[in-house]
Each structure stands twice: as C-alpha cells, then as structure tokens.
C-alpha cells in the first residue's frame, strides 16, 4: 500500500470510528455524515434515515446505486425497507431499475405518486391506477393523485377515464392549471370539440399557456398526424425530433410524448405502402403482441400500440446498441457474461410465455441510461406453444443463427441459446463464432484470453453445441452455468497492449491480501486477511468440493442473516467470505426475541431450500450487530448439518440457550 493509499485508509478508519461514537451518543445525523465520509454508504443511508436527514440519505442512496455491486445495492434497499424506511428503499430500488420493488416500498410508505410512477415503469399501469384510485377513495379531495391518474389513463389510451378523473379536480386546486391542457387534448381526441373550446376558455382566464398549432399545420387522417411548432406530431401526442433508422418495412423515429414529456422511440410500419405485402405486416403485429405479453426488465418496454398506424411506441434507449459498443473495443469477460446472463433472463421469460425470439444479435441488444442490457426487435419472433417448434425459414441473422436454422430446420428454445452463445463468444474473443463439431474453429476463448480456462471454454461451447439437445435445457440453466464461474473483471494486459488501450493494469493479485490476522476464537477453517483493494477484512477459506458446495448454497440464498460469499477463486483454491460484525452471543449473552428467532429460522429455511445447511447455530456463531441477528461462517463441516439446524431452532424457540 503506497503512502496515499495508507493516508486514505487511515482517514476512512477515523471517520468510521467517529461515526460509531456518534451513533452510541444517538446523534444519528452526525453518525450518518461521518459514515459517508468513511465510504460506508450503506450504513450512512440507514443512519440518515433513522435521523431524518433527507439530504444525506439521498446522497448515500446515490452512491450505493452508482458505486456498489447490484447485489449489495439490492440488499441495502431490502434492509431499508425492512426497517420501515420505505421512501428511501423505494428511491434506491428505483435507482437500480427494480421498479416493481420500488413501487411496493413506496406503497408501504404511503408515497402514492411515486408508487404509481414506479408501477408504470415496471410495466404495471393497472397497478399504478389501482394505487392512485385507492388513495382517492381514502381522500377524495386530493388533487395530485387525481391529476396523476388522469395523465396515466391518457397515456394508455383510456381517454374517457382520463377525462372523468381530470374533470373532478377542484377549480381552486393548484393542479387544475396543469390538468387543463391535457383535458382539452382528451376532449379533442374523443371528438368533443365544444368541451375542448370551453376548457381552453378556462385556460385563457387562468393564464395557462398552450402552444397553438401553426397556420400551415397539416393532418394525415389515417395516422392522426399534425404539426404543432416542432416536428410532426404522430397520433396526436408524439412530437418527432429525428429519424433514427428506416427499412423497407418500418421507420424508427425519436419523439417526445407531449403528455408525459418522456422521450420515446416510435416504430411505424411502412411495408404495405411500399408494396412489401402481408408478411411484413404480420411480423410487425407479431412483434407488438410479443412485447405486449412480455413485460421483463431486460426487454425494451412497449408503451403503446397504435393500430391505425400501425405503430409501436417504445422506451427510448439512450445507451445505444451492443453492436455500437463492440466497435469501441474489447470488453472485460465479467461484463460480457453479465450481458449474456441478462439476455438469458429475458429469453427465459419469453420462452415461458411461448415466445421464440429467433434473431438475437448485437444490433438487437440495447442499453438504457444505466447501462442495463435489454433485448429488442421481436419481429422475427414465433408466438405459440413451445412444446412444438417453429420452422425458421429465412428468419434470423446468419452469423448468429443456429445450425438447425441455417439448414431451414425447426427452431426451438435452444436455437435462441445458441445465438446468445455466439454473441458471448464474439464479446470474449473479438471474433465471430464459427464452431465446428467438438472444437472452436476460430480458437477457444482461453486461447484469446489467457485468464480464461477450460471451464470457461466448456460453458461457451455448451451454448454453441452443434446438436440442439447437447445445449443447456433452457435459458435459466444456461444462466446458472455461466454465473457459477468466476470471470475476469478486466482484460489481460497483453490484450490491452495489443489493442493500444491506455487502461491501467489491474493490481497484481499477490499484492491484494495482507498476512493472516489473529482470530482469537479458535476458528480452524479460515484465516482473517486484509483486502488492500477494498480496505476490508475477509475470511479466506481453503476451497475443496465440500466448501465450494457450501459457498454456492449460501450465495444462492443471499439472506441478510447469512454470511456473504464475496469471491470464489479457483486458481488460488480460495473462497472469500465476509466476516461477521458485532459481537458473538458467547461474548455478550442476551435473550433472543421471537422476531430475531423467526428471522434466523427464515434464513435457514431458505438455505435448506437450495440444498444447503449451516450446522453450527450456537453462541459462537450467532452475532448481534446493529439490531439484527447474523450467523458467521461455520468453522468446520458437520455431517448432520440440516438436522442440527432444525434442533437448534427448536431449542431457541423453547428459550434454551444456544451455547453448548
């Protein structure tokens, strides 16, 4: 550790100690700010919420979302929610794209407007409407939920319902002025011209401005297009800003939703006009039906289908496509696999609903503002019962097409998995996948990146197997196989040098861990080491088949009362686990309340559900930290661990001391 790093680490420890002292003095606001200075954003968020310091809580939440791994951010949001800080939990869930969870947290906190927004972002507009209607039943005089309900209904084509909601806003409410332009447009949409004129007269009396139509405005009856100041206004609400792309069958334009203010992508069918025939229209309608059924965080959301276009209004993906990113240069294996796993998650849900994509390729993988990969373009999709298969014909892109599709044979679930494998191979090697029977024609991934091994090659080869029945059974199995391996988080120095990259080389692994620290408690399965990269202590456990199986079970469970598995390093033969915080019950005996025992029982039940067990639920392994009960990593294996866990819980429920 160089002098600057030592100074930073010492400063962090000073702030952490100050935070602990202030918390003991019940100065939660001060403790939160010191925790933030110490770099402990999770603790800062919790303490700031407890102390009512909204600014610090919001700053801590932003840091958690931006700087910490997604799994840790999710755990922090869950912790805030379980402690009753639903507003902050919802804000954190929303920052990391978990909009359904955010909505639930906001509902629990009584933040109905934020809950409705999150429900809609999660693709659940009906739930958003129900939340707003529930709030209005309790408080009919509230204008803000009524305005939000009217706007929501209008966005989703429920114009009559929107009019009813907006008309009920009291004329004296501040929200009345904001509702009038929307109300006027809704009246026009259903042909109530006189009502629209009266609404605009009220707007004039109140001084509410609305951009008037230009004198040269034109309207195309078949598509309800008009011009109002800016670009063409499609279907009465989407003002175009630029054309993104066009083909023989469709045009894709960027637009602003004049009701919500949101930037969207409008895909307009043009095949029939250009004489492309019914097949193109059927593919267009098939894509719309697929997106309507498929609501998944890794599928580009469909906001609205406009039959008279026909057109699809889609979420606008500011992050560009995977094809764009691949042109920028090579990608770290861990990031490549993360993208592949997100695609497999989306395909798993699609396959569950009977939808085959059949054209997975980099150009059809788009990214939102946060860099989350989303699958798009279901125009080649087959909708139906996947107990049968679909003949591909010429559907799909040849470079990513499975062998059976190339031969015109029926496509199935594993055809989509092959395409993900082809994309992943290209991300790992920089070259298109051209596998032949039993080997890689262009070289295995480990030949391109020496930090990859045979196990990585095997995982990719399984996706690219020539025969469909030799590939993983489904997308979820494929995702589990990829996630079970540790993938390097940086490109090898040799590769970055070849690419002319100026990316700094990662620190050497041998410089990362300090010497073993004294445990002082007789632990014989692990050594406590200092991780110099992240300035933290870790338990380093020798890896064998038994410890690896145990680590996988703990990692799959992910319950906050169980130890967190930080890393599995096959090359070094080590497993890293987060050490327990606080004090063991053996050192500070106390009576466990029913809630703590129930939490522990829930954790062990979740562990048992994935085939794991602890085996040492005793005073040496039970730690009390920050008001919660936690289990430390078991010091040694137990042959009858599951039975021991059940017996320990029963003893605790009877009030028997856990100490042996």
The string of DSSP codes covering 509-573 is GGGTB-PPBP--S---S-EEEEETTTTEEEEEEE--HHHHHHHHHHHHH--TTSPPEEEEETTTT
CATH number of the domain encompassing residue 552: 1.10.510.10
In a domain, residue 530? The reply is: no
The pLDDT of residue 494: 57
Whole-number CA gyration radius for the chain: 29
Q: Which residue has the tokens 């009512």?
A: 52
In a domain, residue 108? The reply is: yes
Q: Do 154 and 81 fall within a single domain?
A: yes
Pick from 622, 508, 483, 479: which is nearest to 565 by CA? 483
Q: Do 373 and 431 fall within a single domain?
A: yes
The pLDDT of residue 261: 74
Q: Do 340 and 489 fall within a single domain?
A: yes
Contact 422, 399 (CB under 8 A): yes
Contact 631, 617 (CB under 8 A): yes
Contact 273, 249 (CB under 8 A): no
Q: Do 358 and 490 fall within a single domain?
A: yes
In angstroms, how far apart are the furthest CA atoms of the chain? 88
Q: Do 58 and 178 fall within a single domain?
A: yes
User: In this structure, how many other beta carbons lie within 10 angstroms of the beta carbon of residue 632?
Assistant: 23
The pLDDT of residue 531: 64
Q: Do 344 and 457 fall within a single domain?
A: yes
SS3 241: strand
Side-chain-side CA neighbours of 642 within 13 Å: the count stands at 10
Q: CA 387 to CA 561: how far, in whole Å?
A: 41
Instruction: Tally the domains of the chain.
Output: 5
DSSP classification of residue 591: P
Q: How far is CA 264 from CA 239, 297, 530, in A?
A: 10, 17, 48
Which tokens go with 171?
């004329």
Which tokens go with 537?
């202590």
Which tokens go with 69?
């791994």
In a domain, residue 220? The reply is: no
In a domain, residue 624? The reply is: yes
Final residue in a domain of this structure, among 177, 206, 235: 206
Pick from 69, 81, 89, 9: which is nearest to 565 by CA? 69
Contact 176, 166 (CB under 8 A): no
Contact 474, 348 (CB under 8 A): yes
Final residue in a domain of this structure, among 447, 472, 497: 497
Q: Do 559 and 430 fall within a single domain?
A: no
Q: CA 301 to CA 304: how far, in whole Å?
A: 9
Sign of CA dihedral 342, 472, 422, 571: positive
The pLDDT of residue 423: 93
pLDDT tens digit sequence for 508-560: 445 556 666 544 443 445 677 776 655 567 788 888 888 888 888 887 776 77
Q: Edge to edge, what strands does the sheet with 250-257 contain?
A: 226-227, 232-234, 238-246, 250-257, 263-269, 311-315, 302-306
Contact 355, 383 (CB under 8 A): yes
Q: Which residues contact 58 (CB under 8 A, 6 or more apart)?
A: 88, 91
Q: Do 293 and 333 fall within a single domain?
A: no
The pLDDT of residue 503: 36
Q: Do 471 and 601 fall within a single domain?
A: no
Which tokens go with 614?
């602890």
Q: CA 108 to CA 115: how far, in whole Å?
A: 9
Phi and psi at residue 317, to the nearest 5°: -100, 100
Angle between helical axes of 112-121 and 99-109 (0-180°, round to 10): 160
Sign of CA dihedral 282, 285, 289, 295: positive
In a domain, residue 365? The reply is: yes
Cis peptide before 442 (omega within 30 of 0): no
Contact 321, 362 (CB under 8 A): yes
Final residue in a domain of this structure, among 476, 497, 518: 497
In a domain, residue 618? The reply is: yes
User: In this structure, how many other beta carbons lie within 10 angstroms of the beta carbon of residue 215?
Assistant: 5
In a domain, residue 511? The reply is: no
Q: Which range of residues forms the domain containing residue 97?
A: 50-206
Burial 388-405 (b: 16+ CB within 10 A, else e): ebbebeebbbeebbbbbb
In a domain, residue 516? The reply is: no
Residues of the chain with pLDDT under 70: 1-2, 4, 210-231, 246-249, 270-280, 369-370, 378-398, 434-442, 493-526, 531-536, 558, 625-627, 656-660
Contact 259, 155 (CB under 8 A): yes
Side-chain-side CA neighbours of 24 within 13 Å: the count stands at 6
Q: Do 487 and 556 fall within a single domain?
A: no
Q: Do 149 and 252 fall within a single domain?
A: no
Which tokens go with 350?
């699609």
Q: How far is CA 258 from CA 116, 196, 228, 235, in A?
A: 19, 17, 11, 11
Q: Do 274 and 354 fall within a single domain?
A: no
């Amino acid at each position: 550790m160089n002098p600057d790093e030592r100074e930073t680490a010492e400063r962090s420890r000073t702030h952490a100690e100050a935070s602990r002292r202030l918390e003991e003095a019940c100065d939660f606001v001060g403790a939160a700010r010191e925790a933030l200075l110490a770099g402990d954003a999770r603790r800062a968020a919790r303490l700031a919420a407890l102390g009512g310091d909204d600014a610090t809580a919001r700053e801590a939440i932003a840091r958690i979302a931006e700087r910490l791994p997604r799994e840790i951010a999710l755990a922090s949001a869950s912790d805030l929610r379980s402690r009753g800080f639903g507003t902050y939990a919802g804000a954190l869930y929303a920052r990391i794209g978990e909009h359904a969870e955010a909505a639930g947290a906001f509902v629990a906190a009584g933040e109905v407007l934020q809950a409705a927004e999150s429900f809609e972002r999660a693709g659940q507009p009906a739930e958003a409407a129900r939340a707003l209607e529930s709030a209005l039943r309790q408080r009919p005089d509230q204008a803000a939920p009524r305005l939000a309900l009217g706007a929501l209904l209008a966005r989703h084509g429920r114009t009559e319902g929107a009019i009813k909601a907006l008309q009920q806003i009291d004329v004296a409410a501040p929200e009345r002025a904001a509702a009038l332009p929307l109300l006027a447009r809704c009246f026009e949409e259903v042909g109530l011209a006189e009502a629209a004129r009266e609404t605009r007269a009220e707007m004039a009396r109140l001084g509410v401005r609305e951009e008037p139509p230009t004198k040269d405005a034109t309207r195309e009856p078949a598509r309800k297009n008009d011009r109002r100041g800016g670009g063409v206004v499609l279907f009465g609400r989407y003002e175009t800003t630029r054309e993104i792309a066009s083909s023989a069958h469709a045009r894709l334009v960027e637009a602003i939703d004049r009701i919500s203010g949101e930037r969207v992508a409008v895909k307009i069918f043009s095949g029939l006009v250009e004489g492309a025939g019914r097949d193109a229209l059927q593919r267009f309608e098939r894509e719309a039906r697929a997106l309507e059924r498929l609501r998944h965080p890794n599928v580009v959301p469909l906001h609205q289908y406009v039959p008279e276009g026909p057109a699809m209004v889609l979420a606008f993906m500011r992050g560009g496509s995977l094809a764009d990113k691949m042109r920028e240069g090579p990608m770290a294996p861990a990031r490549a696999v993360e993208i592949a796993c997100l695609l497999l998650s989306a395909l798993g849900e699609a396959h569950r609903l009977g939808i085959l994509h059949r054209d997975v390729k980099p150009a059809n993988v788009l990214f939102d503002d946060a860099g989350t990969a989303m699958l798009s373009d279901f125009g080649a999709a087959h909708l139906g019962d996947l107990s049968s298969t679909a003949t591909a014909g010429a559907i799909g892109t040849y470079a990513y097409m499975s062998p059976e599709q190339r031969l015109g044979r029926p496509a199935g679930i594993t055809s989509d998995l092959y395409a993900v494998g082809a994309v992943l191979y290209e991300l790992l090697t920089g070259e298109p996948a051209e596998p032949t029977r039993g080997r890689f024609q262009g070289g295995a991934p480990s030949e391109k990146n020496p930090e990859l091994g045979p196990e990585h090659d095997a995982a990719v080869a399984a996706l690219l197997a020539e025969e469909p029945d030799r590939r993983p059974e489904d997308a979820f199995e494929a995702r589990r196989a990829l996630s079970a391996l540790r993938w390097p988080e940086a490109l090898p120095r040799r590769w970055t040098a070849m690419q002319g990259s100026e990316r700094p080389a990662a620190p050497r692994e041998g410089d990362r861990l300090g010497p073993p620290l004294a445990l002082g408690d007789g632990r014989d399965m692990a050594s406590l080491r200092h991780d110099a990269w992240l300035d933290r202590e870790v338990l380093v456990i020798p890896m064998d088949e038994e410890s690896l199986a145990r680590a996988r079970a703990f990692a799959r469970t992910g319950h906050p009362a169980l130890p967190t598995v930080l890393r599995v390093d096959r090359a070094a033969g080590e497993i890293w686990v987060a050490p327990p915080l606080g004090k063991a019950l053996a050192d500070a005996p106390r009576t466990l309340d029913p809630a703590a025992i129930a939490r522990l029982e829930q954790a062990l039940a979740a562990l048992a559900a994935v085939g794991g067990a602890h085996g040492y639920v005793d005073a040496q392994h039970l730690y009390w930290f920050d008001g919660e009960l936690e289990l430390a990593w078991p010091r040694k294996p137990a042959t009858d661990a599951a039975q021991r866990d059940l017996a320990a819980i029963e003893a605790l429920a009877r009030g028997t001391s856990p100490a042996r």
